[in-house]
Structure 1
């Protein structure tokens, strides 16, 4: 419990420094600043693999799955890359949500901060629940595998341009609970209007982002559980990837159209992980193979997006 408590305290410290020190004064986050912060979060996450090695090498943390220190590091890095890659979809949806509710760039970091805070809590609960399921019912891994294959197929066939946050069930239910203002005055989530408390578009965007993240977690958490059922590795890799989501959003949200083949990378990753789960009791896939498939898929999607001109894609369409 000491390790878990220390890790959670570290995350709280990161969040406190982020909002209370580094982003104390609200400002529009430019690509350069976002790039620096993205590099910092990735460095922190990858450096944490050294902590993972130390914890497992010295038997400081429970090791329910019998991992070697090197094996634990490989699983941690693989899990982190899975979550990081699947976060690209989050970035797209967040951009659509901010656009739909006309959230000014200067307040977007504030919304994402509280969104990430909520995501950490919900994901912690989902991870503990998922690990408990796999530990108690081994057959559940087949259910997760089929679900990931279905998700990959759905992602391959889906048209993401049709997503409209204002037509979502979440938005309709919020309107039933609170009157919603159309104007944004400052960074407040609620305002008093003629003696009545009303939700601002910032609050609506926050709730929609929060619940959307829970839906995305239904994909990413089973995916990482295919790599390992060790709760600390699953939790730490997932949370450290989520912490970098805000800066990654500001870095690549303006360039989403350029990375038009990333979705195919995600399809390959989800399909691979789904198949790995389905055959987990029959074929043992070395961890370096999983790491290689994920890395190559991501690189291939990025390189293809950059090298193939948009005009060629349009002509083929």
Structure 2
């Protein structure tokens, strides 16, 4: 039987369990480990809307009296499609609960207080950084009331997304495109403007290495006033009239979209940047020079270098001949 000598080690296991859950969807990825004297007596994770939450899943068929529950996200304190997890832990006789991240949802939060009021020892802040990284899109979406926004750019070394004649396929390598398709499978929605939809006719689908559609397809969002049909098959299509990024995000928030991938083109990319509604930028850069052609981002209204949009580099990856730069806008922290 597996044993863990520290709360941190047990939380790492709870994180592994949470990562079994697909990243996309309205609910957070949560894992839970039940321990008695460091020995694992139960494990669980939340498999999706309407299914047992991680804590209840871990408690199934287990005598948890006096046990410790190690959970990635604060147990919920409200009744939705399922009952409150904090109450389930109390009723099961759990003596101690270790939590990585507090729940920012004003409807579901408060589980730690409920546990303490029932005499359960509550320890917080264990393994917080790693769990926050996993939950970031959900935490930001719930905390800010709008989806987490990742802006994707695929450019030449001199920042072009198309040559002077308009040709744009393919700037980046198969390795970069495979990485981008894997990312598409992890988000709830893909967003483009009508210009990109009309000129490039993107499918906006998540495909595997053989080009086959993945089992789950993101929502496809077109922002703008012109008719711009998207190829089929693919995910459902949402059309948002006008050119306001905030309006688009409000529409998506109402559909419980937590993470949207903005795939451009330059007009839409600039609109989201000007509005301050980009949380993360993924820039796929190919070692190609064109010297002319369309820039990745249209005019941001910036006249001097000191006013430039400054991002914080988080990581740099090599993808075949290309480089992927992952950068943050602002401080990169979610709001509680």
**Aligning the two structures, in what range does the TM-score lie when normalised by the shorter sequence?**
under 0.3
Larger strand percent? 2
> Structure 1 length normalisation: TM-score?
0.23
Q: Which has the higher contact order (CA 8 A, sep 6+)?
A: 1
- Which one has the largest radius of gyration? 2
